[in-house]
Amino acid sequence: MPEEPGVAELFKALADPTRRVILDELVLRDEQTLFELCTRLVSIHGMSSSRQAVSQHLDVLEAAGLVRVERKGRYKFHFLDTAPLARIAERWTSPHHPEPKELS
């Protein structure tokens, strides 16, 4: 059974512990700039990721659909989007989901 588009990107995004912490931060306080996220990662979690590294993590999360970005003036604000997670949960909880093919 082929996976839906974007499923691999979603699991890749969730596999990294730094990206999971970034998502946790957006749960606690949505609509953060890169600077705010970097500051909170250092002050709350003791993580010393560079701004460039955090920016790259945000790019992966955005590509997976877990983060959306809105530009307001000179600033980019990051928002959590849990819709992809709901689609994954539905994949395993829906009674109408097709049976997986057996491996040969």
pLDDT band at 104 (very low <50, low <70, confident <90, very high): very low
The residue ranges of every structural domain in the chain are 7-89
The pLDDT value recorded for residue 1 is 46
- 6 torsion bin: left (phi>0), alpha (psi -120 to 50), beta (else): left
Q: Which residues contact 37 (CB under 8 A, 6 or more apart)?
A: 22, 25, 26, 54, 58, 78
Q: Nearest-CA neighbor of 1 among 92, 96, 95, 100?
A: 100
SS3 33: coil
The pLDDT value recorded for residue 10 is 94
Contact 55, 98 (CB under 8 A): no
pLDDT in tens, 7-30: 889 999 999 999 999 999 999 999
Compute the average pLDDT of residues 61-84: 96
Please give the backbone phi and psi of residue 32, each rounded to the nearest 5 degrees, phi first. -115, 150
CATH code of 7-89, in short, is: 1.10.10.10
Q: Which residues contact 45 (CB under 8 A, 6 or more apart)?
A: 21
- pTM across the whole model: 0.83
**Is the pLDDT reported for residue 58 higher than 70?**
yes
